[in-house]
Structure 1
Amino acid sequence: MIYVDADACPVKAEAEAVATRHRLKIFFVSNGGLRPSQNPLVEMIYVPDGPDVADMWIADRAGPGDVVITGDIPLAAKCVEAGAQVLRPNGEPLTEKNIGQQLATRDLMTDLRAADPFRQGGGRPFSKADRSRFRDALEQAARRAQASRPK
């Protein structure tokens, strides 16, 4: 299965296309505002408003053989710990080897922004290359997920 932290995900269409190609069930989890899909493999999950409600829904279900798409580092850490494959929307995998560093960087950046309220803004804009990298990474993750399923 594929779980998408969907509220701010820029690659929903690509994720649905890959899931469909591999006949994998895909869950788009958000607190609303997403257009429903007619695809029978797609399930829209609408959770109540609140901090991290969508993240908790995904973290409670994701495990070995699943793929999670999120830019949320604490959610990614929980899913990696549970044995799921995790991808950022730009295709970067989050794994046991790099999740600790990602959490530390996130915490450092949070502290820097708190210390300097004028230091806002994110990184570079999402690009076509990011979208392409994501599609390739999800294809590989979907193959691994299918290979790890019990026969």
Structure 2
Amino acid sequence: MSVAEIDTKCLCCICEASSSCNANVACRKSYFGGYRCGPLSILWHYWADAGAPKLEGDEHLPSEIAFENCVEEIYCAVQTVRNYITKFKNGTTADCNSDGKVDCEDYVQMHILGGYNCSQSKVDTDPRFSKFFNCLKSNKAS
């Protein structure tokens, strides 16, 4: 399976929605639930679903440490998001917003809500989505 090609502007808006793209964000217990890490606010099970990518040299570390090291480093975190989207983008639930196409808006829903239930109706109430859509409008990501 080839890894999803996600437009850079789309990734930037996902990052903006996740942490205001703060590269210095450490792992923390999140208001939105779970233990989230890095500028893309990635959960451990998300990282595991993405194939648990690791930084070079981290192959033999315990998974908890390899997870934190990866998702706190922007390139590994982006690879995690690409892997995760690849896993879900061709599934029957990939069109999260039911608009007939799978695009950046679906990717952010997969990222925030999870690939297993991305059509949940939290888009109107979760502040991360308004940050994403504001970024999307200003950058015209696709």
Q: TM-score, normalised on structure 1?
A: 0.27
Tell which has more relative contact order, 1 or 2 (C-alpha 8 A, sep 6+): 2
Bigger share in strand: 1
Whose radius of gyration is greater, 1 or 2? 1
